[in-house]
Chains A and B, each alone.
Chain A
Amino acid sequence: MHFFSTLMVSFGSMFSAVWIVVANSWQQTPAGFHVVGEGINARAEITDFWAMVLNPSSVDRVLHVISGCWLAGAFLIISISAYYIIKNRHIRFAKSSIKIALFVALIASLFQLFTGHSSAVGVSKNQPAKLAAMEAVFDDQTNAQLYLFGWVNEEKQEVNFSIAIPGMLSYLIGFDTETKVTGLNSFKEEDRPPVNIVFQAYHLMVAIGMLLIVLSMFGVFFWIRGTLFKQKWLMWAFVFSVLLPQIANQVGWITAEVGRQPWIVYGLLRTSEGLSKAVSADQVWFSLILFTLIYIGLFILFVYLLNEKIKHGPEDVDAIPSEIGHPKS
């Protein structure tokens, strides 16, 4: 019964992730609709359900997001298990947990390479302005370079303090350094997203993604060698690694959403046109501030309680009563 419930929680989470990302993907690459009416009465009406659900970016993004969630889950387990191993508590539980989690982490982090790559190729086709912002491409060019890092000066249209691999961006999106990348200057000024935010968010995500692959590979490498639990430095790295997928997931969403600006539905409806007239700026401020305070408060509580729970540790496996199938009944 518990196992069944656990499976349902897992399937339910993934199922809802699918629909959330599908809805968001439709905002990125709308499909399967036609516009009826004009001016303020215009609205998109569905013409083809499956074209709408399987719009050009859905599949890539669903896989990318779900895999990102697997990473977040895997590294939470890795972190707690590593902590127990360092503290020499609940060893049997921690050792088997960390192995399962490392396995998931390795697969998910490598999988992210493919889904991330596939997403980026999709963005280059469907949302070229976003790709241009992600890599700070201002003029149309072939042999476009891929930045490892940098700081974008949007006014002067340059990237400072940067290191880049020449031709790599063109190569990645078309497997040919001669692939042309559309630059931001090919778009009207009012159709360009903010560049530096998208650039930084995107590069941070990619950097963390690479770091997660390295961490998982180290873990699996020492696991195969049989010395995993003796690598104190790696265990400590694992303890803090819980933050990495969280940050990567957040900045990934920032890349996707800020990169879509100034559109709320790409190419169709501007964010400024999507505003509700019945809601004043004051009301929005009120709710934003309120929810920021709530979430800060809840976050502190959450960390406090989670910390207590981690310190308390799992119930002793052998001590669980046999009537576990019917709790609370």
Chain B
Amino acid sequence: MEFTFDLNTIWFLIIGILLIGYSILDGFDLGVGALHLFVKDDTERRIMLNSIGPVWDGNEVWLVTGGGALFAAFPHVYATVFSGFYTAIMMLLFMLIFRAVAIEFRSKRPMRWWRQMWDTAFSIASIFIAFLAGIAVGNLITGIPLNANKEFIGTFWGLINPYTVLVGVTTVALFMMHGAIYGVMKTENELHNKLRGWVNNTIIFFIICYITTTMSTLIYYPHMIQHFKEYPILFVLALLNMLAIANIPREISKGKDFFAFLSSCASIAALLTLFAFGVFPNFVIASNNPEFSLNIYNAASSHKTLNIMLIIALIGIPFVLAYTISIYWIFRGKVKLNNMSY
């Protein structure tokens, strides 16, 4: 197919960038959450929490922004996905609420059972959110049954099959790796060394999942590499992705934690870009009849709306980038606990 760089494509890109931003940012705090229960000591758990303390809610804003942009730019995608995945999305919301509450409430009381309860809620919610996000991506790869009115006609259990579960587990593994590296960057001494040891395990776990997922995609969902056959240059992305992943243990062993983290960010960005090229120009593939698929044209808002939103985005994005960068700058360095901490 021919690429035409029009307004609809720009919005596909913007939403892609927002979701990549979300995966990179919330990815590490979900990953820290997934590893949380493996840390036993109360002080160490507080350090884990406070490593993400000032930034996790700002990170989740990227998801809200992505959802908001989707709602305004591609309302049919929003309507189909949010209605079709209703139960799954309600569970996601449920988990997001509990995770937020757990972070805020945990250290407010000293009782052991209280803290254990919120630690468990925090960790399980983190894993579950990552898993559900993966299931969603999996379903966008496999496609879901739609009718001519762009309505979802499948069931909740239809969304869960071996392939989507595999993508879910891969996402958890990816975020665990990402979170472990972030943890290494933000901690000192004993906890630092412990996390450094975990990085390798999470990398191995991720690579196994990644290879399995890639193989299954190539075998069962070859439409994902259609564009790659037409534009072989895109394979460079896949190569870069592998290099980024391979670079992580190298940087970790050299003690350059920040570069390891950058590599991890790059590999998440590359993975999602590969996914985006795979589905483009579709958002939601109709598994029963390709004609019912929602793409960047039949699911879009009017050109006027897209134009207005582009102006708003151009005004808003510099602000978001500026405050995101300044927050990370203010809270740079290793975590130190004080009476203002979680």
- Comparing A102-110, A248-256, A279-287, the segment that makes contact with chain B is A279-287
Question: Are B151 and A278 in touch, CB under 8 angstroms?
Answer: yes
Contacts of A305 in B (CB 8 A): 105, 108-109
Interface stretch of the complex, out of B162-170, B230-238, B333-341: B333-341
B54 touches A286 (CB 8 A): no
CA distance A329 to B105 in the complex (A): 21
Task: Count chain B CB atoms within 10 A of each CB in A279, A308, A328 and give the residue with the most.
Answer: A328
Indicate whether B4 reaches chain A with its CB closer than 8 angstroms.
no
Is A188 close to B, CB under 8 A? no
On chain A, the residues within 8 Å of B75 by CB distance are: 43
User: Which of B87, B302, B341 lies in contact with A283, CB distance below 8 A?
Assistant: B87
Residue among A40, A47, A278 making CB contact with B84, cutoff 8 Å: A278
Contact, CB under 8 Å: B305 / A279: no
Distance of B94 from chain A, by nearest CB (Å): 6
- Residue from B87, B151, B302, B330 in contact with A46 in the complex, judged by beta carbons closer than 8 Å: B302
Q: Is the CB of B108 within 8 A of A278?
A: no
A327/B86 in contact, CB under 8 A: no
Q: Which residues of chain B are near A298, meaning CB under 8 Å?
A: 97, 101
Residues of B within 8 A of A301 (CB): 101, 105
Chain B interface category by residue count: 35 or more
CB-defined contacts of A6 to chain B, threshold 8 Å: none
Q: Is the pair A329, B151 in contact by a Cβ cutoff of 8 Å?
A: no
Residues on the B chain within 8 Å of A46, using CB: 302, 304-305, 308
B153 touches A278 (CB 8 A): yes
Return the chain B residue nearest A297 by Cβ: B101
Please measure, in the bound complex, the distance between the C-alpha atom of A49 and the C-alpha atom of B310, giving whole angstroms. 13
Shortest Cβ distance from residue A170 to the other chain B in the assembled complex, whole angstroms? 41
> Which of B79, B108, B331 has a CB less than 8 Å from the CB of A308?
B108
A294, B149: Cα distance in complex, Å: 34
Contact with B along A16-49 (1 / 0, CB 8 A): 0000000000000000000010001001011101
CA distance A276 to B87 in the complex (A): 13
CB-defined interface of B98-117 with A at 8 Å, one 1/0 digit per residue? Answer: 00010001001100000000
Give the 10 A-B CB pairs with smallest separation, nearest first. A327-B340, A276-B83, A278-B83, A278-B152, A45-B302, A287-B90, A279-B86, A278-B84, A278-B151, A283-B86
A-B contact sample (17 more), CB < 8 A, given A45-B304, A46-B308, A328-B340: A45-B305, A46-B304, A46-B305, A276-B79, A277-B151, A278-B84, A278-B153, A283-B90, A287-B86, A290-B94, A305-B109, A308-B109, A326-B330, A328-B50, A328-B54, A328-B338, A329-B330
